[in-house]
Homo-oligomer: A and B are copies of this chain.
């Protein structure tokens, strides 16, 4: 693995010191911040998530805060999903698109109040985007990056850990709903959320100076459950069919191609960015679709840094956008962004690291 050179362009997280104390060994970058990706034993970190409870620094999921009388209008302009019934304390998964209907981020939108929203973003610059739309339309809204940094607690034992810290009320939180509270003088919001399908919560730290304090508090509360450090797990998220914007998408991907059609409401007003294009795309039918691919090989693959061509009958029919060794399936699996004309079960060839590897397409998720 190559080294990553320190730079002030790549900001450390409020949890950086805590993760270094835990023995973090590797990082990725995301929204111009450093995000831990491993502590030296990827398989143990995976099984801890599947069978127990894991804690992750996902402060890179920045909160783009919309504040002011027009905050709700801007939220709706940015989101091709009907937000009229979204209430305070509720979060919704939204598929932000540009004017051409291309997916530019897939955040959780959190409604804090009638005039205050967060977009908890994936890896693209929505601060600039939202400001451009707001200013060009003359809206009365401030768009800022809030001092809010999520800490994820994920896995089947996560709820017990979170309840032991905050109380049993967290057991009643619905998915993506949240509540503002505090613990040991640390202001937080607690949401049932997280980038895994193993269940869990995200604690939104609302004071960047208290990252180590929050980390240690969760670590101590989780000790009876054998909590340990982890990261947004490449293996689990691929098994579970979770999208990585920018990894599994390109500059032409629309929501329908990557299974986000259910989050688009075509009857939102015409001034929602991209909605006219999305209606046309939906009417014509998307050209690509996202399926799974199971590769023929018993040798675990390394994580790739680029897409691989997929062919059928000698013709390119799409791309393998990620690939990982599945600890549960004992196979190399990945996401195939392929022609909409293909069917699950189709036999294809993945051109990976100079080799032609037979593969079979399937529906997502894998598990």
**A interface, CB within 8 angstroms of B:** 1-12, 24-30, 32, 34, 37-38, 98-99, 104, 123-125, 127-129, 131-133, 135-137, 144-145, 244, 246-248, 251, 302-307, 321-322
A5-B38, A6-B304 known; 18 other A-B pairs, CB under 8 Å? A2-B27, A3-B38, A5-B26, A5-B28, A6-B303, A7-B305, A8-B321, A9-B123, A9-B247, A10-B305, A32-B123, A98-B131, A124-B128, A125-B125, A125-B128, A127-B251, A132-B136, A133-B136
CB atoms of B25 and A10 under 8 A apart: no
Point out which of A8, A37, A128 has the most chain B C-beta atoms below 10 A from its C-beta. Answer: A8
A sample of 10 inter-chain contacts (CB < 8 A) reads: A2-B3, A2-B27, A3-B4, A4-B28, A5-B37, A11-B305, A99-B135, A125-B128, A129-B129, A136-B136
Point out which of A11, A123, A135 has the most chain B C-beta atoms below 10 A from its C-beta. Answer: A135
CB distance from A274 to the nearest CB of B (A): 9
CB atoms of B307 and A8 under 8 A apart: yes
Q: Known interface pairs A3-B1, A3-B2, A3-B3. Does A248 touch B129 (Cβ–Cβ under 8 Å)?
A: no
CB atoms of B28 and A2 under 8 A apart: no
CB atoms of B305 and A34 under 8 A apart: yes
CB atoms of B5 and A27 under 8 A apart: yes
Contacts of A137 in B (CB 8 A): 136
Complex: how many Å from CA A99 to CA B143?
Answer: 12
CB atoms of A244 and B1 under 8 A apart: no
